[in-house]
Amino acid sequence: MDYLSHIYLPGAVALWSALIFALTTMVGYVLALSGDASGISFARRSYSFFALSIFLTAFVLISLLMARDFRVEYVYQYSGMDLPWFYQFAAFWAGQKGSFMIWLFWGTMLGLLVRRTTGKSEPAVMGIYTLTLLGLLLILVRENPFLMLRQTPVDGQGLNPLLQDNWMVIHPPIMFIGYAASAIPFSFAMAALWRRKYDGWAARAFPWALGGFLVLGTAILMGGYWAYKTLGWGGYWGWDPVENASFIPWLFGTVLIHGLYMERTKGRFRRANYVFTFLTYISVLYGTFLTRSGVLADFSVHSFVDLGISGWLTFLLGGFMLLGLYLIVTRWKEIPTVPSEDPSFLSRGTFLVMGSITILIAALVITAGTSAPLLTRFMESQSQVGPSFYNRVNLPIAMLVAFLLSFVPYLTWKETPGNVLLRKMALPIAFSVIVTVAAAVWRVRDVFHLVFILLAALALATNLQKTIDKYRAGGFKAMGGYLTHVGVGIILLGIIASSGYDQSTKVTLTQGAPKQVDDMTLTFKRFIPRQGREKERMEIEVARAGRSPFMVYPKLFVNDRTRQTMVNPDIKSSPFQDLYVSPIEFDPGQPRLELAQGQSGQIGDMQIHFVRFNLNMDGNAVAALNAGHSTTVGAELAITNKEGKTFSVTPVYRLNPATGTVETPPTSLPGGGTITMAGINTGSHAVQLETTGLANPMKLSIDVTKKPLIQLVWGGLYVVLLGGILTMIQRFRQARVLEQIAG
Amino acid sequence: MKVKTNRIYLFGILLLVAFAGFSFTAFKDSMTPYVSYDRAKEGDRIVQVAGALVKGSYSYAAARESLFFTLQDPKTKQTLRVRYKGLKPANFEDAISIVAIGHYDEKAQELEANKLLVKCPSKYQGAEVEKTYS
């Protein structure tokens, strides 16, 4: 009973009911599989109750967060009084337990839709799908998110300041839709093997595979944006294990889509597609295992530390691997295949096979790199591999992909004569040569890079030409695939330009003193104190000959709660390059001054006279303090500047005795600089003052990086996603037609 | 036709083998093993070391645009001076453990880090809850 008294029952009961209904769903589908006709309706009803329970579980957790009920340990650990409601909401997925919860939530809700697309295979598909959800549910039942503390704290520990960003609200939930969706093609494929019905599943699973690919791609794009625009990591991709854990399933998903396309159009890849669904799903579980079990804790920026679920994750991973391998191996010989026609080298089939193998290899190589700490575990010293590994290995892979993509649009399934191909590709070839020459004239001297650019531009151009052909012939319907490949070409050009040819300079600026960096003159104008939710910013002017100067405002501030120094870069985007300015260090040149009532002191050119404390800034301060309310004390100052002009300012000191938090907002001074009431010396009735920008000049060290053509990376990703959406719509239509034919 | 097909497969396999070899070399070259401070000081390769930040040991030299600090191995109590040219990581001062990846510079007697990993919150938050509220 001790356990029950330390658990938030409404949430826990909903969670436990979900477990019961998940089990009865399984029972129903097993009955249906063994021929009991009533099983299926029982299973469907159970699944609806299961979905309802999961919905309620999530709802209770969200309500507890929104109510800031710090009795609940999870709420206490990841949220706090200082958070606005949307971060309070996002705290749902800030921790390990909540991450599994949101994953399970999406998985369950997707299941309601999947059920409608299964046709006669429902018991097997939904049985296996529910089993995948049950795995996640067991983790949550063990790691209950509704545990309560023995005492109620007044405030939570707050959200990690790195996560206090708009992207935190949207990026993780979308990522988990992608994770959840990876189980759908897997369930279709394994059900087909189980029932020995090898036809038809590919058409049904195809749109789901595309959907998962799209959602995961969107999430990866958002993660890149987040890293680049606000986290100040200097780039959009760092080959960190957590990034790789989402990228690897995406690559396997890409292979799966092409495999399913081949199966649907030519009946090829009929065996391989089972392996591809297996790899896509298992890589999601494996990535989760790597990043959440603590095996990489010392190797990644954002891996979670072990919460005692390694065992469960290993069990889940092992269980589904065994299930998948067992089904694939035992049925392998039975799976019907069409006798492959003699592939001629210049045919679409050959190129598709080669392309799939290439991407498969990329995924495997990245998996090996990410697993390095595991692979080297028993060697002399445990080791990880740096980004150089991924960059070196993926450069030739990307070139091969671009090469293959260039030819695919104008290859037919039969042998394509070389001269016909050349004639159709004349215009794209001319385009790519021009691009390559332009790159060589600009700055690219590396022959390897020039070949890379030639191939990427060719892939872009042939696919663009074909997209336009297809659009003219049949509107948006048939162009999706080619459009996606146009995007890939664009991305590759963007990556090579922005990562291979970026120019970074680290420079220290003194306030008001212009400094030359390349063709720019940088001037650190002023420090702008915090205003409301807008954090402390630095104003830097960037001037270039012949162009009008502009300002950038990178941020550098200290988080109130954790005292961590936070950095937000500012990026000035122009069509051909981004100027990326990130603060490194800020020296406010600020002397402290302690003045008793009536005393005067000097800082720089300013003479500061402390007139008296103001105890009536916001009601009577002494009364408020005695009553335990939030208290505001002001310090009335008379400040005389070098021209002999005197003005008065009143910086304030706010104390909340309930939470122990202190706020000392800086007050701006006429003519620049700020003054802050940093503390009160109650013994001597003196005020402690801090100033910025008055005596020693402020100094700011920044990292200034020019990233050429980085817009192509984002633009290309959007094109890829757009092409994917068009293809998905088309494949959903086809699956529905199939449904009607099958009845 | 048959002969041609086989030739394509052979070529493919050769390409795969070559790529596997290339990947393996790249893998070995990019490995950054976790080592003791003594091993790191041999300075023959890029390594990674972990340790706690020695309180008050950190300073930023604007002229060299570098961050200097000392790490201490929690087990052996050995210390290692680190230089890092770049951004001070966000939660640097509160780090429980810092991982520095780089190369030991024998002349300066410092590890010249090109990447820092800062290990912070979650794990220890849990432990604190136990202490404060039970």
From the list B63, B94, B126, the residue facing A562 with the nearest CB is B94
B92 touches chain A (CB under 8 A): yes
From the list B1, B33, B62, the residue facing A701 with the nearest CB is B62
Q: Which residues does residue A577 pair with via DSSP β-bridges, in sequence order?
A: A708
Residues 6+ apart with CB under 8 A from A331: A193, A196
Inspect the interface and report whether the beta carbons of B134 and A150 lie closer than 8 Å. Answer: yes
From the list A299, A389, A584, the residue facing B30 with the nearest CB is A389
Inspect the interface and report whether the beta carbons of A396 and B19 lie closer than 8 Å. Answer: yes
Q: Closest chain A residue to B47 measured between Cα atoms?
A: A383
Query: Could you give the ipTM of this predicted complex?
Result: 0.75
Q: Closest chain B residue to A154 measured between Cα atoms?
A: B133
What are phi and psi for residue A640, nearest 5 degrees? -110, 125
* pTM: predicted TM-score of the whole model, two decimal places: 0.85
3-state secondary structure A658-704: CCCEEECCCEECCCCCEEEEEEEECCCCEEEEEEECCCCCCEEEEEE
Domain-located, residue A130: yes
Which chain A residues are within 8 Å of B88, Cβ to Cβ? Answer: 565, 584-585
The per-residue pLDDT for range A211-252, each reduced to its tens digit, is: 999 999 999 999 998 888 887 667 888 888 889 999 999 999
From the list A73, A563, A567, the residue facing B87 with the nearest CB is A567
From the list A76, A160, A345, the residue facing B121 with the nearest CB is A160
Q: Give residue B127's pLDDT.
A: 28
Question: At B126, is the secondary structure helix, strand, or coil?
Answer: helix
pLDDT(B132) > 60: no
From the list B19, B39, B122, the residue facing A305 with the nearest CB is B122
Question: At A714, is the secondary structure helix, strand, or coil?
Answer: helix
Final residue in a domain of this structure, among A376, A391, A424:
A424
Separation of alpha carbons A271 and A198, rounded Å: 9
Tokens of A325: 């391998």
Shared-domain flag, residues A323 and A390: yes
Which chain A residues are within 8 Å of B26, Cβ to Cβ? Answer: 388-389, 392-393
Which chain B residues are within 8 Å of A304, Cβ to Cβ? Answer: 122
Which chain B residues are within 8 Å of A701, Cβ to Cβ? Answer: 60, 62, 65
Shared-domain flag, residues A304 and A224: yes
Which chain B residues are within 8 Å of A699, Cβ to Cβ? Answer: 62
Inspect the interface and report whether the beta carbons of B5 and A343 lie closer than 8 Å. Answer: yes
Half-sphere exposure in the Cβ direction for A256 (13 Å, CA): 35
DSSP annotation of A347 reads S
Domain-located, residue A322: yes
Q: Give residue A465's pLDDT.
A: 96
DSSP annotation of A417 reads P
Mutation target among A159, A310, A385 for the B interface, most CBs of B within 10 A: A385
Q: Give residue A102's pLDDT.
A: 97
Distance from CA of B109 to the nearest CA of A (A): 23
DSSP annotation of A231 reads I
Measured from the Cβ of residue A670, the count of other Cβ atoms closer than 10 Å reads 10
Shared-domain flag, residues A236 and A291: yes
Domain-located, residue A586: no
- Averaged pLDDT, B8-31: 86
First to last CA, chain B: 78
Inspect the interface and report whether the beta carbons of B23 and A565 lie closer than 8 Å. Answer: no
CA A522 and chain centroid, separation: 33
Tokens of A79: 């949220």
Distance from CA of B90 to the nearest CA of A (A): 5
Q: Give residue A685's pLDDT.
A: 80
Shared-domain flag, residues A314 and A371: yes
**CA-based R_g, chain B, Å:** 22
Final residue in a domain of this structure, among A140, A159, A178:
A159
Write the CA distances from A318 to A131, A265, A311, integer angstroms.
14, 34, 10
Token pair 């001076």 is found at: B81
Distance from CA of A508 to the nearest CA of B (A): 7
Shared-domain flag, residues A138 and A245: no
Tokens of A615: 């105890």
Inspect the interface and report whether the beta carbons of B119 and A160 lie closer than 8 Å. Answer: no
Shared-domain flag, residues A113 and A185: no
From the list A372, A393, A703, the residue facing B31 with the nearest CB is A372
Shared-domain flag, residues A272 and A302: yes
Final residue in a domain of this structure, among A692, A719, A734:
A692
B5 touches chain A (CB under 8 A): yes
Per-residue DSSP letters for B41-98? Answer: TT-SS-EEEEEEEPTT--EEETTTTEEEEEEE-TTT--EEEEEE-SPPPTTGGG-SEE
Distance from CA of B4 to the nearest CA of A (A): 8
Distance from CA of A549 to the nearest CA of B (A): 26
The per-residue pLDDT for range A424-470, each reduced to its tens digit, is: 999 999 999 999 999 999 999 999 999 999 999 999 999 999 999 99
Q: Which of B84, B62, B61, B86 is nearest to A508 (CA)?
A: B62
Tokens of A635: 């310090």
Confidence of residue B39 (pLDDT cuts 50, 70, 90): confident
Inspect the interface and report whether the beta carbons of B133 and A150 lie closer than 8 Å. Answer: yes
Which chain A residues are within 8 Å of B15, Cβ to Cβ? Answer: none
- The parts of chain A modelled with pLDDT lower than 50 are 743
Name the B residues in 23-62 with CB < 8 Å from any A CB: 23, 26-27, 29-35, 39, 46, 48, 50, 60, 62
The whole domain housing A123 covers 1-159
Domain-located, residue A332: yes
Shared-domain flag, residues A244 and A368: yes
Q: Closest chain A residue to B27 measured between Cα atoms?
A: A389
CA A93 and chain centroid, separation: 13
Shared-domain flag, residues A132 and A169: no
B21 touches chain A (CB under 8 A): no
Name the B residues in 69-88 with CB < 8 Å from any A CB: 85-88
Beta-strand relationship, A520-528 and A537-544: antiparallel
Distance from CA of B125 to the nearest CA of A (A): 7
Half-sphere exposure in the Cβ direction for A414 (13 Å, CA): 2
The per-residue pLDDT for range A553-607, each reduced to its tens digit, is: 999 887 777 666 778 899 999 888 999 998 887 877 766 778 888 888 877 777 8
From the list B46, B50, B62, the residue facing A585 with the nearest CB is B62
Q: Give residue A743's pLDDT.
A: 47
Signed CA dihedral, A52, A53, A59, A62: sign only: negative
Domain-located, residue A277: yes
Domain-located, residue A312: yes
CA A386 and chain centroid, separation: 20
Separation of alpha carbons A714 and A712, rounded Å: 6
Residue A58 belongs to what H/E stretch? Answer: helix A39-66
Q: Closest chain B residue to A369 measured between Cα atoms?
A: B27
Residues 6+ apart with CB under 8 A from A199: none
Across the A:B interface, residue pairs with CB atoms under 8 Å apart total 141
Shared-domain flag, residues A152 and A170: no
Instruction: Compute the C-alpha angle B17/B22/B25, nearest 5°.
Output: 130
CA A493 and chain centroid, separation: 22
Contact A596/A685 with Cβ under 8 angstroms? yes
Residue A116 belongs to what H/E stretch? Answer: helix A96-116
pLDDT(B122) > 70: no
Shared-domain flag, residues A642 and A688: yes
| Number of structural domains chain A divides into | 3
Q: Give residue A563's pLDDT.
A: 63
Shared-domain flag, residues A223 and A310: yes
Separation of alpha carbons A710 and A493, rounded Å: 9
Distance from CA of A652 to the nearest CA of B (A): 28
Mutation target among A75, A365, A515 for the B interface, most CBs of B within 10 A: A365
Distance from CA of A150 to the nearest CA of B (A): 6
Q: Give residue A347's pLDDT.
A: 84
Domain-located, residue A117: yes
Separation of alpha carbons A323 and B65, rounded Å: 55
Which chain A residues are within 8 Å of B23, Cβ to Cβ? Answer: 365, 368, 393
Instruction: Compute the C-alpha angle A111/A115/A117, nearest 5°.
Output: 120
Inspect the interface and report whether the beta carbons of B27 and A372 lie closer than 8 Å. Answer: yes
Q: Give residue B1's pLDDT.
A: 46
Q: Which of A225, A170, A164 is nearest to A535 (CA)?
A: A164
Question: At A41, is the secondary structure helix, strand, or coil?
Answer: helix
Domain-located, residue A429: no
CA A483 and chain centroid, separation: 24
